[in-house]
Chains A and B, each alone.
Chain A
Amino acid sequence: MLTQIYVMFFMQYFIPSTAVLLCNTHLSRGLVAYQKNRDVEPFRLTAGRIHAASSHSTVSSSRAASMHWTGERVLSIVLLMDYSIAAALTLHGHWGIGQVLTDYVYGDVKVKLAKAGVLLLSTTTFFGLCYFNYHDVGLCKAVAMLWQI
């Protein structure tokens, strides 16, 4: 079920029609039911209790829990975004610089050297961006933080 949720959330960005599907399928109803159960069960449990003071906090704690769950999914998407952006940028840049080389560099040896150099640069760039995504704040957050200076 969780993998289905991941896939559906992921697909929304690539195939917009699946966003509609997500709203209408048993999955979303299952999601709603899942959340409803989590809200309802604490009530049932507290109904039998003598002191009812905790009933409000169990509702708010399950609300906090479901928000936490949503936050986890959002973070997963953002991480996906960070790595997708890293891959897209480096590949686009690699091909782009390759075209510039083809236009201005002549001679078999020079072309080979230049292409090897660009490949090394692109690989290092991708590795560096992934390192940044993993060990540091990540690309999306980095741009947001930079803009807030």
Chain B
Amino acid sequence: MALLLRTVARQGLCSSRLQFAVLYRHAVPMGTTAKEEMNKFWTKNTRLNRPVSPHVSIYKWSVPMMMSISHRGTGVALSSGISAFALAALVLPESYPYYLDLIHSMSFGPQFLAFSKFALAFPVAYHTFNGIRHLIWDLGKGFRIPEVYRSGYIVIALTVVTSIGLAAM
């Protein structure tokens, strides 16, 4: 049907002309939204307990795939951290300097402290740099596969360097 319409269009014939209306007179606008259709799909298939074809478990992992889910993972982790911090600020009785002094009094070794700073800085740096990569994609740039890999490696390199730099401060 679509092929027929396209061949007709290619020959420069206007398909809105009345005599061609006969070709698509049976097409009516959809009665349901995409959301409703998806809900119907999921309720029917979970009710029938149908198995889902393996997808993430069998597809070969690639660097862009891993970076994408890491972006989501770091985002959720950072958001949870901020929410935990805010809730602690509301619930805990003492002030922030008190708890910092408490940590200070535990006298952790300098390597442990440096590693902790690295562990805090790493997700922030990664999410920020990959976020910039996303914004560049939103501008429409860098979608070719070699470019995707190149920008990905740059993000990883920047993340490691920045995290080490921040941990050393």
Residues of A within 8 A of B (CB): 89-90, 93, 96-97, 100, 106-108, 121, 124-129, 131-132, 135-137, 142, 145-147, 149
Contact = CB atoms under 8 A, between A and B. Distances in A.
The dominant DSSP class at the A interface is helix
Nearest to A129: B86
B82 A132 contact: no
A146 B100 contact: yes
Interface of B: 38-39, 42-43, 72, 75-76, 78-79, 82-83, 85-90, 95-97, 100, 103-104, 113, 117, 169
Contact of B86 (A96, A128, A149): A128
Contacts of A146: 100
Given A124-B83, A145-B97, A146-B100, A93 B90 contact: no
Contacts of A128: 83, 85-90
B154 to A, nearest CB: 23
Contacts of A124: 83, 86-87, 90
B38 A132 contact: no
A89 to B, nearest CB: 6
A122 to B, nearest CB: 8
12 contacts: A93-B78, A93-B79, A106-B42, A121-B83, A125-B83, A128-B86, A129-B82, A129-B89, A131-B89, A132-B96, A147-B117, A149-B100
